[in-house]
Amino acid sequence: MSALAPDLRVLTLGLVAWLTALIGLLAPGRTLAGLAVVAVVVAVRRPAGTTTYTGWLLVAAAVTMSAGLHTARVRETPLDDLAARGATAQVELVVDTPPVSTTGRFGPGAWFTATVLEVAARGTHYRLRVPVFVVVDGKVDALRPGSHVELEGRLRPATSTDEAATLIAHPPLVVTAGPGPLTSAAERVRRGIREAAAPQAAGPRVLLPALVDGERGALPDAVVAEFRTTGMTHLLAVSGTNLTLILGALLVLARWVGVRGRWLIVVGAFGVVGFVLLAGPQPSVLRAAAMGTVALLGLGTRGRERGVRALGVSVVGLMLADPWLATSIGFALSACATAGILLLAPGWRDALAQWLPSWVAEALAVPMAAQLACTPLVAAISGQVSLVAVAANLAAAPFVAPATVLGLSGGLIAVVAAAPGQVVAAPAGWCAAAILAIAHYAASLPVAAISWPTNWLSLVVLVSGCVLIALALRSVLVRPILALGLAGMVTVAMLVPVPVLGWPPPGWVMVACSIGQGDGLVLNVAPHAAVVVDTGPDPVAMDDCLKRLKIRTVPVLLLTHFHADHVDGLAGVLHARSVGQIEVSPLARPVGAAARVRRLAAAAGIGVRVPVLGESTTIGPLRWQLLAPVRDSYPDSDSPPNDESLVMLVQVAGIRILMMGDEERPAQGDLHEAWPGLHADVLKVAHHGSSKQDTSLIDSLGARLAVISVGLGNDYGHPAPATLDLLGRAGMKVLRTDLDGDVAVVVDTSGALRSAVRTP
C-alpha cells in the first residue's frame, strides 16, 4: 500500500473487536458462549481465499469469549448472592485506586475501588479475586493503592457492570500490608511532583500534577468547565499525550548519552512500565499507554503504516484483556483521536506544506485531525461542539511538553531534595499558567462552543458532516485562498455571536433555561442584568443560556437547595459575569455540594447568606418574598434537602410568579397552610413535575401558566402524567423545557401575560 492509502485491514480487525466487545457485554453469558462456538465453527469451515473474513470471525469469537469470561468472573461469584441479601461480611482486599474524600450526611467519608481476596459471611469463608466499589464512613487519609486491608462492611448490589458488589465499610480499617516497593516508589514520585509544584500560584500548583500523572482532584470546577469548553480536557487526564511526551523526552536523553539500536526499545519499554506505575495500573492508564505507544510508532519512516497496524493490534489486545474498555468514553476518545491523527493528519499536513513551512503544517494538521475524529463523541457526551478547540490546543501545544517533562523532572529531583526540584519545576509552572490563561480566554469568547442535540438523528447528521469534511478538507487546504477564507469564517463565528432572532422576546420577565434535568431560571431586572435562581447541572449549558439573554450582571443568585441538578452549573453563572450575592437554603446538605458552592463563592469574592423566612427583597422592578421553608427541619422526609428548598413569590410587571424548588407533599402542604389565600399568575412547578404534588395548593393558586424545568428522556419519569393532568384540570397552560426549549414568561405593553419559547 502507498503512503496515501494505508492498509486498513488490521485497523478494521480492531473495529470488529471493539463492536464485538460492546455486543458481548450486553448479551447474557450463555448467549456469549453460543456465539463464540458458532463463530469458531463458521471460521474454520470458510473456503480458501477468505482469510480476512476468517480473521474477523476468529477475533470476534475470541473477544466474545473474553467478554463472557470477564462477566462470569465478576457476576457469577458468591458476592452476587451475598450482595442481593445485604449480608454483613468480614473482607480482606487490596486497594486499587487512591481514596477520594467525600463529605456525606453524617460526616467525612471516602470511596475507592479494590480487589477482594477473601470474604467471610454467614458462616462461610470464600477465597476469590473480584473487583468491588468500597464506600467508607470515615477518614482514610493514610490508605494507599496496593495496601492490603481487613474490614467489616455490608454488601450491596453493584452499580457498575464491571464490579461484583458495593461494599459499605465502617471503621476501623486494618492495614495488614502496605504497598509493594514499586507502588511505594511511584507514590513517592507523585508526592515529589506535588512538592515541586508547591511554590507556584494556586492554578499552576494544581494543574501541574494533572498534566504529568492525571491527578486532577484539586482542580476547581470552573477550570474543568473551561477546559471542557475548549476541547482541552485530555490534558487533565492520563492520556496517550502524557506517555508520548515523557517517553519522547526519555528517548532523546537516551540517544544523547549514546544508546542506539535495540537498546532504545529496551529504554522505551522501561519508560512505558514506569509511566504505568506512576499513574497507577488502572484500565484508563493501560489504555493511555497503548495509545501513546501507537502514537510513537506513527513517527518517523513508514510511521503511518506502522501506526495504523499498531492501533488495530492495540485495540484487539485491549478488548481481549479488558472488554469493559469498549464501554469507556476515554478509550473511545483516545482511539478516535489516534486514528484521526494517523489517517487524516498526513494528507492535511502535505496539503498545507505546499504553501506553509512544514512545521506549521504539522502543528495545524494534528489537532485538526484529532478534533474532527472526536467531535461526534464529544457532542454526544457534552451536548456541544467546540469551535475553539483546534485554536486553543494549537496555542497551548508549545507549553504542554515543557510543563509535562519539567514537572516530572522536578518531581523526580524533589524525591531527593525539594528545593532543587522546585527550581527545575518553576518553568513548568510558568507553562501551566499559560495553559490556564489560554483555556480561560478561549472559553470566554462569545461563541466558544455551540449546543448540539444528543438525539440519534442529530448525532447521525454530525457524523455525516464530519465524514464529508474529512473527505473534502484536503482539497481545500491545498489552496491558500480557500484555506485562509475557511479559517477566517471560523474565526468570525467564534468572535461574533449569531443573533437569535426574536430572543429574548420583548417584555420578558422570566426565562426557564433548557439546561437538562435541573432548574436554571432567570428573572429580568434591567438590560444585561438579572436575578438567577438555581444553575442546573451543567456550567456550559447555564452559561450559554445567560449568553443568549445577554446577561452580564447578576445582583443576586439564589440556590434553592444543594442538589447537583440545582448547583453544579454555578461556575457557568460566575464565568465572565459580576455576581453580587448568593443566597442559599438553610440546610447545607449534601455537605460536599454546599462546601463546593462556598469554595467557588470565596474564590470569586462573593458573599453567601441564608435568607430569613418572610423577608422581602426589591431590585429594580423585581420584588420577591421568601415563603419557605416553613419548618426548621423535615426529619421524616424522603429527601430533607428537597423539602427545605427556598420558595419565592415574585412580583414584577403586575404579575405574580410562584417559584418552587423541589418541595414534595409535606413541604407543599406546609406552604399552603402557612400562606392562606396564596395566589399566583405563573407557577414554576415543584421538583420538575414529579408526581408528589399537593393538589390543594395547585388548585387554590389560580395560575394561568405552569412552567416545568425538566430534562429530555430523564430517568425519573418527570413530568409525571398525573401532574400534567392536575395542572390541566386547574386551568393552566403547561410549558416544559424538555420539549419546548427555553421558556419565557412575557408581559406585553398592554400588561397581558404571554409566553414564548425558543425551541432547541
Burial of 107 (C-beta count, 10 Å sphere; 0-12/13-18/19+): exposed
Q: Is the pLDDT of residue 669 over 80?
A: yes
Share of the chain above pLDDT 70, in %: 84
Predicted confidence (pLDDT) per residue in 274-288, tens digit: 666 666 666 656 666
What mean pLDDT do residues 3-13 have?
A: 69
Q: Is the pLDDT of residue 104 over 50?
A: no
**pLDDT band at residue 43 using 50, 70 and 90 as cut-offs:** low
**pLDDT at position 225, please?**
74
Residues pairing with 733 in the sheet: 705
User: Contact at 8 Å (CB) between 396 and 438?
Assistant: yes
Q: What is the pTM of this model?
A: 0.66
Q: Is the pLDDT of residue 98 over 80?
A: no
CB atoms within 10 A of CB 336: 18
**pLDDT at position 193, please?**
86
Residues pairing with 113 in the sheet: 133
Distance from the Cα of residue 58 to its chain's centroid: 35
**pLDDT at position 244, please?**
63
Say which residues have a Cβ less than 8 Å from residue 464's Cβ, sequence separation at least 6: none
**pLDDT at position 5, please?**
56
For the chain, the domains span: 9-75, 80-179, 203-467, 508-752
**pLDDT at position 11, please?**
82
**pLDDT at position 2, please?**
40
Q: Is the pLDDT of residue 121 over 70?
A: yes
User: Contact at 8 Å (CB) between 43 and 345?
Assistant: no
What mean pLDDT do residues 34-48 have?
A: 55
Q: Is the pLDDT of residue 715 over 60?
A: yes
**pLDDT band at residue 617 using 50, 70 and 90 as cut-offs:** very high
What mean pLDDT do residues 95-117 have?
A: 72
Phi, psi for 116 (deg, rounded to 5):
-75, 135
Q: How many CA atoms lie within 13 A of 78 on its CB side?
A: 17
Which set of grid coordinates corresponds to residue 159? 452499580
Only one residue has cell 462461610, namely 124
Q: Is the pLDDT of residue 356 over 70?
A: yes
| C-alpha to C-alpha distances, 296 to 351, 358, 697, nearest whole angstrom | 23, 19, 66
Q: CA quadruple 320, 321, 322, 327: dihedral positive or negative? A: negative
- Would you call 152 helix, strand, or coil by DSSP? strand
Q: Treating both helix axes as pointing N-terminal to C-terminal, what angle do 262-279 and 283-297 enclose, rounded to 10 degrees?
A: 150
Helix or strand run (H / E) with residue 732: none
**pLDDT at position 3, please?**
45
Q: Is the pLDDT of residue 735 over 80?
A: yes
Only one residue has cell 484539586, namely 218
User: Contact at 8 Å (CB) between 548 and 569?
Assistant: no
Q: Is the pLDDT of residue 217 over 70?
A: no
Lowest mean pLDDT among 138-142, 170-174, 254-258, 313-317: 138-142
Q: How many CA atoms lie within 13 A of 599 on its CB side?
A: 12
What mean pLDDT do residues 59-64 have?
A: 79
Helix or strand run (H / E) with residue 71: helix 51-75
What mean pLDDT do residues 602-630 have?
A: 92
Rg of the chain over CA atoms, in angstroms?
28
**pLDDT band at residue 110 using 50, 70 and 90 as cut-offs:** confident
Lowest mean pLDDT among 212-221, 403-412, 535-544: 212-221
Tell me which fold the domain 508-752 belongs to.
Metallo-beta-lactamase; Chain A (3.60.15)
Q: Shortest CA distance to 304 belongs to which of 369, 360, 371?
A: 369
- Which range, 27-41, 91-105, 241-255, 632-646, is most confident? 632-646
Q: Is the pLDDT of residue 625 over 80?
A: yes
| C-alpha to C-alpha distances, 731 to 704, 728, 735, nearest whole angstrom | 6, 5, 13
User: Contact at 8 Å (CB) between 96 and 74?
Assistant: no
CB atoms within 10 A of CB 486: 14
The overall average pLDDT reported for the chain is 82
Q: How many CA atoms lie within 13 A of 712 on its CB side?
A: 15
Q: Is the pLDDT of residue 105 over 50?
A: no
What mean pLDDT do residues 627-650 have?
A: 88
Distance CA 589, CA 103 (A): 9
**pLDDT at position 1, please?**
38
Which set of grid coordinates corresponds to residue 573? 453563572
Phi, psi for 93 (deg, rounded to 5):
-145, 165
Q: Is the pLDDT of residue 45 over 60?
A: no
Give the angle subtended at the CA of 338 by the CAs of 335 and 342, to the nearest 5°: 135
Share of the chain above pLDDT 90, in %: 29
Which set of grid coordinates corresponds to residue 334? 483516545
Lowest mean pLDDT among 2-6, 101-105, 589-593: 2-6
**pLDDT at position 662, please?**
94
- Would you call 549 helix, strand, or coil by DSSP? coil
Only one residue has cell 423539602, namely 643
Predicted confidence (pLDDT) per residue in 578-599, tens digit: 999 999 999 888 877 888 899 8
Distance CA 386, CA 375 (A): 8
75 or 643, which is more confident? 643
What mean pLDDT do residues 488-497 have?
A: 77
Region 80-179: CATH code: 2.40.50.140
**pLDDT at position 221, please?**
66
Which set of grid coordinates corresponds to residue 748? 406585553
Burial of 181 (C-beta count, 10 Å sphere; 0-12/13-18/19+): exposed
Predicted confidence (pLDDT) per residue in 399-431, tens digit: 887 888 888 888 889 888 889 989 999 999 999
Q: What letter does residue 675 receive in the DSSP assignment?
A: S
Say which residues have a Cβ less than 8 Å from residue 26's Cβ, sequence separation at least 6: none
Q: Shortest CA distance to 406 belongs to which of 272, 245, 258, 256?
A: 245
Residues pairing with 215 in the sheet: none
User: Contact at 8 Å (CB) between 327 and 22?
Assistant: yes
